[in-house]
Homo-oligomer: A and B are copies of this chain.
Amino acid sequence: MQHTVKQKIYRILEVTRGKKSGITWFFNLLLLSIISLNTLAIVLHSVKSIRHEFDTIFVDFEYFSVVFFTIEYVIRLWVCTENERYKHPIWGRLKYMLSAGAIIDLLAILPFYLSHFTSDTGLIRILRLFRIFRLFKFSRYVHALRVIEGVVKEKREELILSFVFILFLLLISSSVMFYLENPAQPRVFSSIPATLWWGVTTITSIGYGDIYPVTLLGKFFGGIIAISGIAIVALPTGILASGFAEHITIHTKQHTRHKFCPHCGKELP
């Protein structure tokens, strides 16, 4: 069977389909390297001394990355019609543009172009923040991130229920703590929103030490919240942990789900 250029490129880009040729390996390794280097660049660029010394390198690498990612985006958009789901030349491509992968790819390059239309340094700063979306480009390769997505989706109801618990506990405990501690520490426990920060650092047991009760009643109430709160926060932890554990068991151990009836010996559905 003869393949067109478009079909060949599609096969190179779509790493998960069919057996991988050398060029597929090469291209995807190149892409992974550039994403990794971008991650490293984002991290190192934030260090003042490094930023000042290697300024031109950072600028050049940024231009190179954007050009590379833009070409990648355009090519992906061009060849996506080879996929059955995005078959139609116009509507298929629009549908592809709204897929999670394509949106991440766009968010990785769009801020760069938008920053040229403004001279507002505050806005440029925010646009630069969006560069970290490039990290999400890893998600095409890192199976782990699709696992998170799957587990969160499956345990959706339980997680929402748990977060309602936590939010309720946070609101009640912070409101009471505000009334107890505000007279003694009007600057630290200045309002209920400020006290919510105490609530979060306490029930997650972080305890930075920037906000804590000093009155007898505040400490007594805080102690009760600390002990009972930790139990409530353990809930989503337990749900997610068991969700991941289930996933790992099913996917890595090839656990046989179909057992046999011990009475008649036939396979169970």
Residues of A within 8 A of B (CB): 39, 42-43, 46-48, 125-126, 128-129, 132, 135, 138, 142-145, 147-148, 157-158, 161-162, 164-166, 168, 171-172, 175-176, 178-179, 182, 190-193, 195-197, 200-202, 204-210, 212, 214, 216, 219, 222-223, 226-228, 230-242, 244-245, 248, 252, 259, 261-264, 266, 268-269
Given contacts A235-B241, A245-B238, A266-B261, contact A147 B132 (CB under 8 A): no
Complex-state Cα separation, A195 to B161, whole angstroms: 32
Determine if A264 and B262 form an interchain contact, defined as CB atoms under 8 angstroms apart.
no
Q: Which residue of chain B lies nearest to A178 when distances are taken between CB atoms in the complex?
A: B46
Q: Contacts A206-B206, A262-B269 hold; do A232 and B240 have CB atoms under 8 A apart?
A: yes
Cα-based distance from A73 to B191 in the complex (angstroms) = 30
Number of this chain's copies in the assembly equals: 4
The secondary-structure label for the interface of chain A is helix
Q: Are A210 and B210 in contact (CB under 8 A)?
A: no
Contact B129 A142 (CB under 8 A): no
Closest 7 pairs between A and B when the two form their complex, measured CB to CB: A206-B207, A209-B209, A261-B261, A46-B192, A200-B223, A264-B264, A263-B266
